[in-house]
Amino acid sequence: MSREREAEALDERLLAAIEAWHRHGRSLDDAEFDDLALAIFAHQLRYDTAYAAYCAGYGLSLTALPSTWREIPPLPARAYKEAAIAAFPIERADLVFESSGTTLGEPSRHYIEDRRLYDAALLAGFERAMLGDGARLRYLLLVPNPAQRPHSSLGYMMGRVATLFGDGETGWYLDEDRLLVDAFIADARDACDRGQPICLAATAFSLLHLVETLEEHGIILNLPVGSRLMETGGFKGRSRVVTRDELYARASRAFALPIERIVAEYGMSELCSQYYDRPNSEINIAGASHRIKCAPPWLRTRVLDERERDCPHGIVGALAHIDLANRSSCLAVLTEDLGAVVDGGIVLLGRESGAQLRGCSLDAEDLRRS
């Protein structure tokens, strides 16, 4: 079978699995997930030369395949900065996403062969997590505008969502790195006047900036009933300036929005699928309360210790995601994020930032910044 035929066949299986969950809530059982994961892994060993060479170091090859998805070697996300991780000729890429450059050096590039799979995964995830009531919302977006940042996966995602699920009056309020606060306020007030519920999507930093500006001017936007807020991106790569609870409490006041209407999305440019907060879920891990995030059935996560073994439930380790929708790149990605597996999903604790340096005095953050 040719590479194209093999890829097409895998994509059809994946699209069917995504559709089954999206429309009918049908999940993948362990055997089905294993079967798909191992088939995709074999495909990637055949055609993704950089990943295959890495897997050889684990003793894995087409003649020595793993027996379960848990044995698939997770590729460090930073490998996407250093090589083309693709199971197809990258000049045929339908989409190319670049990281926002939260760590040093080149941005990572994620080459995607066929946008149908990417679109299906993101739309299914978003609709089930954010639009369970079927609402047609106005999308006010404080995320990169695809017109300016065509390689932003977040911008692409929200553009697709707004086009498909929006009321046709989508607004973008990030002009490069500048937040268009006045335009946002004007459009939000217009929606309020018309009783049009809003979906506000913002990175954590944009949201904080917006909320601070509204607070400074004593503005409260009473968003219409049914409005919701999707926060994404956390504070990775920068010193955290407010806690999540504080940010959400202030946003809740600024937009007269019930706190349960604020949902965090967790994704990365190296993945095709996303996690979302599970409604009304809080759990105490590592001395703090966290919301539980849940994934669509084709995305599973391992939490790893330093020996690359799975941590027990509730124990914090490095997150490695196995995203079957990454068929055309690498399905297993070791992130720089910390988290824990819990009943019903994962909790995300932020990004590993090197040693907790107690030097006299050596501070990794200072040195990396210097």
Partner 1 sequence: MTALASIPLRRIAAAIGDAAVRWCDADFPPRVRATGSIVERTGYSIPMVEFALDALFGELRSDTLLETALRELGDLEALDAPAARAYPLGRVAILSSRTTIGVAIPAMCFALAAKNDVLVKDREDALVAAFARTLCEELDDFANALEIAAWNGSREESRLQGASLIVVFGNDATIARVTAEHAGQARTIGFGSRTSLGYLDATTQSNPASLDAALAGAARDASLYEGEGCMSLHALFVERSVATDAREIAARFARAMENAATEFPVGERSAANRAGMLQARNLAAFRSAGGRGGAFCDDALTYLLLLDPPENEPPPFLPRTVAVLPIESPEEIARYVARHALPIECLGITGTGRRHTELASRIGAARLAPLGEMQRPPLQAHHGGRLRIAEYVRFLDIDGERE
Position 352 contacts partner 1 (CB under 8 A)? yes
Position 363 contacts partner 1 (CB under 8 A)? yes
The DSSP 8-state label assigned to residue 96 in this structure reads: E
Position 306 contacts partner 1 (CB under 8 A)? yes
Minimum distance of partner 1 from residue 339's CB (angstroms): 9
Position 241 contacts partner 1 (CB under 8 A)? no
Give the residue with the Cβ less far from partner 1, 20 or 65. 65
Position 48 contacts partner 1 (CB under 8 A)? no
CA dist., res. 155 & res. 149, Å (int) = 7
Position 318 contacts partner 1 (CB under 8 A)? yes
Check: CB of residue 81 under 8 Å from CB of residue 56: no
CA dist., res. 248 & res. 253, Å (int) = 9
Give the residue with the Cβ less far from partner 1, 34 or 308. 308
Position 359 contacts partner 1 (CB under 8 A)? yes
Position 79 contacts partner 1 (CB under 8 A)? yes
Residue bearing tokens 């819990």: 342
Minimum distance of partner 1 from residue 105's CB (angstroms): 6
Check: CB of residue 361 under 8 Å from CB of residue 294: no
Applying CB under 8 A, which part among 16-24, 179-187, 188-196, 359-367 lies near partner 1?
359-367
Residue type, 321: H
Applying CB under 8 A, which part among 54-62, 64-72, 136-144, 255-263 lies near partner 1?
54-62
Nearest to 268 by CA among 335, 340, 342, 341: 335
Check: CB of residue 356 under 8 Å from CB of residue 304: no
Give the residue with the Cβ less far from partner 1, 78 or 160. 78
Residue 118 vs residues 84, 111, 224: alpha-carbon distances, Å:
18, 11, 31
User: Could you say which of 83, 96, 185, 342 contacts partner 1 (CB under 8 A)?
Assistant: 83
Alpha helix segments (H runs only) across 78-201: 79-82, 115-130, 153-165, 181-194
User: Could you say which of 25, 57, 132, 287 contacts partner 1 (CB under 8 A)?
Assistant: 57
When computed from its CA atoms, the radius of gyration of the chain, rounded to whole angstroms, is 21
| Joined tokens for residue 2 | 């040719």
User: Could you say which of 180, 185, 304, 342 contacts partner 1 (CB under 8 A)?
Assistant: 304
Residue count (the chain): 370
Long-range contacts of the stretch 161-165 (C-beta < 8 A, 24+): 161/122, 161/123, 161/126, 164/123, 165/126, 165/127, 165/131, 165/136, 165/137, 165/139
Position 310 contacts partner 1 (CB under 8 A)? no
Instruction: Looking at residues 94 to 113 of the shown chain, list those that interact with partner 1 (rule: CB under 8 A).
Output: 104-105
Position 270 contacts partner 1 (CB under 8 A)? no
Instruction: Please work out the total of residues on this chain that contact partner 1, with binding judged by CB under 8 A.
Output: 46
Check: CB of residue 140 under 8 Å from CB of residue 173: yes
Residues of the shown chain interacting with partner 1 in the complex, contacts defined by CB under 8 A? 50, 53-54, 56-57, 74-76, 78-79, 82-83, 104-105, 239, 286, 304-308, 316-318, 334, 336, 338, 349, 352-368, 370
